[in-house]
Copies of this chain bind each other. A is one copy, B any other.
Amino acid sequence: MSADFNEMVELFKTELELCQLKPTETMAVLTSGGVLEDYAKAFMEAARMIGANAFQLNLPPANRGISGSFGVTPLTDNRVAVEVLKKADLIIDLVLLLFSKEQLELQNAGKRILLVVEPFDVIKRMFPKPSDKKRVLHAAELMKNAKELRFTNKAGTDVTYKLGQYPFLIEYGFADEPGRWDHLPSGFSAGTPNDGGVEGVVVLDRGDILFPFNRYVQEPVTLTIKDGYVTQIEGGFDAVLMKEYMDSFKDPRAYAISHIGWGLNDRAQWHSLALDSKVFGMDGRSFYGNVLFSLGPNTELGGTNDTQCHLDIPMKNCTLYLDGKLIVQDGEVVIEEMKPE
């Protein structure tokens, strides 16, 4: 009921406008288990101010079992709920549908979906600008036209991805087109390598970030990669942690290389994780000039690997090429069209 709530309503109203929510449309807010109730209320009020129809669909919590796995959501095996959401044009997802087949079905039905889970101060700081869209689309365009992506860093990384088999992930922070999913806030594009199409070495350097541990790498970790899979992990404690975690899933596909791309949000901060680690991690995943290296599933981009083990690893100060053309140099984006206004 504080001024913060009103600030939240105002910002979410702007977001709904970026999402092109019209007075003739319907917005649904999907909630479960009392989580993010304030966000739900603020989105309902923001929709009211726009004059759009709105409803909140509250479902029993998902039974994610002991591991809290991705892909199992309150929509799992809930046909009616999926049909209910299809009544909306824009779906605000406060329950993390990511990696679920129900999300794909909703997107295929033309629904816009916006994931919102970060703390409000992160959303506020990284809030999307209309121009972000153009910059992120440019990145996707570059990747679509490339056959090969290679990146290096001074710690010894040199790895090459074959591209072309799969579509691309485009996150600029608002869901403004039919069937589009996005995450508030974000700001990057990513591609998935062709099956078996990654070779080389990735050396995680001090300061690279390990999600979901929300932890900075303290000592270099060397990953040997063959045929699209990590075959060896060497290093200090961080190497132990990665290995133990990945082994705990008892699934060899946990070692697969997943999507690759670079960050473009200039309001995102590499260092904010050091000030508050209770976040989902969009600062780390989106900061300007990172290379977002990733392990695990690729079903979100059309592949068949649906392992429940997923690590996102934003790396600093890398150099990245597409078909040999320099795109990012030592953590700086060199292409004019992708630089911030």
Complex alpha-carbon distance, A33 and B2, angstroms: 7
- Considering the complex, give the chain B residue whose CB is closest to the CB of A78: B53
| Set of chain B residues within 8 Å of A3, measured between Cβ atoms | 33, 44-45, 48, 60-61
Q: Which of A61, A218, A240 counts the most B-chain CB atoms under 10 A from its CB?
A: A240
Complex alpha-carbon distance, A87 and B87, angstroms: 11
**A248 adjacent to B269 (CB under 8 Å):** yes
**A1 adjacent to B41 (CB under 8 Å):** yes
Q: Does A83 count as interface, using CB distance less than 8 angstroms?
A: yes
Binds B, one of A145-153, A163-171, A205-213, A222-230: A205-213
**B274 adjacent to A215 (CB under 8 Å):** yes
Binds B, one of A4-12, A256-264, A291-299: A4-12
**A271 adjacent to B9 (CB under 8 Å):** no
Complex alpha-carbon distance, A276 and B59, angstroms: 26
Complex alpha-carbon distance, A216 and B242, angstroms: 13
A residues 200-247 near B (Cβ < 8 Å) are 206-207, 212-213, 215-219, 236-237, 240-241, 244-245
- Considering the complex, give the chain B residue whose CB is closest to the CB of A88: B80
- Considering the complex, give the chain B residue whose CB is closest to the CB of A29: B58
Q: How many copies does the complex hold?
A: 6
Complex alpha-carbon distance, A81 and B248, angstroms: 44
Extra A-B contacts (18), CB below 8 Å, given A44-B60, A54-B60: A1-B37, A1-B38, A2-B33, A2-B41, A3-B44, A6-B6, A53-B78, A54-B59, A55-B58, A55-B84, A68-B121, A206-B237, A206-B240, A207-B240, A207-B241, A213-B274, A219-B236, A245-B274
What is the distance, in angstroms, from A159's C-beta to the closest C-beta of chain B? Answer: 22
- The one of B4, B216, B245 in contact with A271, judged by C-beta atoms closer than 8 angstroms, is B245
Per-residue B-contact encoding for A87-125, CB less than 8 Å = 1, 0 else: 110000000000000000000000000000000010011
**B66 adjacent to A48 (CB under 8 Å):** no
**A80 adjacent to B53 (CB under 8 Å):** yes
22 A-B residue pairs with Cβ-Cβ distance under 8 Å, sorted by A, are A1-B5, A1-B37, A2-B33, A2-B41, A3-B44, A3-B48, A3-B60, A3-B61, A4-B33, A6-B9, A6-B45, A53-B78, A53-B79, A55-B80, A55-B81, A55-B84, A56-B57, A58-B58, A66-B124, A80-B87, A80-B88, A218-B236
What is the distance, in angstroms, from A219's C-beta to the closest C-beta of chain B? Answer: 8
| Set of chain B residues within 8 Å of A33, measured between Cβ atoms | 2-4
What is the distance, in angstroms, from A183's C-beta to the closest C-beta of chain B? Answer: 19
**B270 adjacent to A244 (CB under 8 Å):** yes
Q: Does A339 count as interface, using CB distance less than 8 angstroms?
A: no
| Set of chain B residues within 8 Å of A241, measured between Cβ atoms | 207, 216, 271, 274
| Set of chain B residues within 8 Å of A124, measured between Cβ atoms | 66
**B48 adjacent to A59 (CB under 8 Å):** no
**B237 adjacent to A216 (CB under 8 Å):** yes
| Set of chain B residues within 8 Å of A54, measured between Cβ atoms | 59-60
Complex alpha-carbon distance, A206 and B88, angstroms: 51
Interchain residue pairs A-B with the least CB separation, the first 9: A56-B58, A66-B125, A206-B237, A207-B240, A26-B80, A1-B41, A3-B60, A84-B84, A245-B271
